[in-house]
Amino acid sequence: MKSIFLDRTEVPELVEKLRGMGFQTQYDFEKHRVELSLEGQDREAYLRLPLTLHCNENLEFDLEKEITYLMLLVQSGSASVGVFKNEVCLSHKVFSAYMVRKKQGKSQIKHLKTKGKSRAGSRVRLASTLEFFENINIRIQDHFKAYEFDRIALSCSKILIPYLFGSKESTPFDKKDERLYRIPKHLHQPNFEVMLGMQKFLNKAELVYDEDFFGQFEF
């Protein structure tokens, strides 16, 4: 698969060009992308839209609308929470916790699935894990009191999801919140620099297609 990145202002013209080339277009709100297809063909192609670009089900774009979104990046032992309005970062915070067993390099959560939590070190790591998610959710709660969010951009591994949503401090949105946007990109250690890099990725459009089949794309 080949990818081409574009600025948000280029999206409306590109969509019209694709339609002129015979592509059928359908907007997927959950993935915030335009699915592309040609009649009689089943090859994959889509246009991932910038998170800062508003689009309705009729594929009408509003370049002037300001989009406010929460970004939450979580890995074992580290997390970043940020608030963004279009391309401006309004707030950010990085969290860390003692969750990884030093010798094995395995997170305490994964260790619990096989070895239990009987040892003192394990209990300390588990307590740190629980506090880690409580602190994250307290921060998010404060943001939800201060802002109205259009989208919630989330990157969190499946093994950590129950800890995020099962924390003593509740997450101010649920797993089925329609605003949730699963970030389609591999996450490195979520520090502030990584979060800003993810912001740049989310603010770009990305045309993804099978180069062998969709050779008619010309840019």
On whether residue 19 sits in a domain, the answer given is no
On whether residue 137 sits in a domain, the answer given is yes
User: From edge to edge, which strands make up the β-sheet containing 24-28?
Assistant: 2-6, 205-209, 45-48, 33-37, 24-28
On whether residue 187 sits in a domain, the answer given is yes
What is the number of domains present in the chain? 1
Contact 100, 108 (CB under 8 A): yes
Return the bridge partners of 91, or none: 83
Whichever domain contains 83, its CATH number is 3.30.420.60
On whether residue 23 sits in a domain, the answer given is no
Give the global pTM. Answer: 0.86
pLDDT at 215: 63
Residue corresponding to tokens 């890995």? 75
Residue 119, CA distances (Å) to 55, 102, 131, 186 in order: 52, 14, 19, 33
Tell me the per-residue pLDDT of 104-157, one tens digit each, with 9 for 90 and over: 444 545 544 545 555 545 655 677 788 999 999 999 999 999 999 999 999 998
On whether residue 117 sits in a domain, the answer given is yes
On whether residue 142 sits in a domain, the answer given is yes
Contact 34, 59 (CB under 8 A): yes
Its domain, for residue 105, covers 68-202
Contact 209, 181 (CB under 8 A): no
For residue 137 the two structure tokens come to 């959710």
Question: Above 50 in pLDDT, residue 103?
Answer: no
Contact 80, 194 (CB under 8 A): yes
On whether residue 93 sits in a domain, the answer given is yes
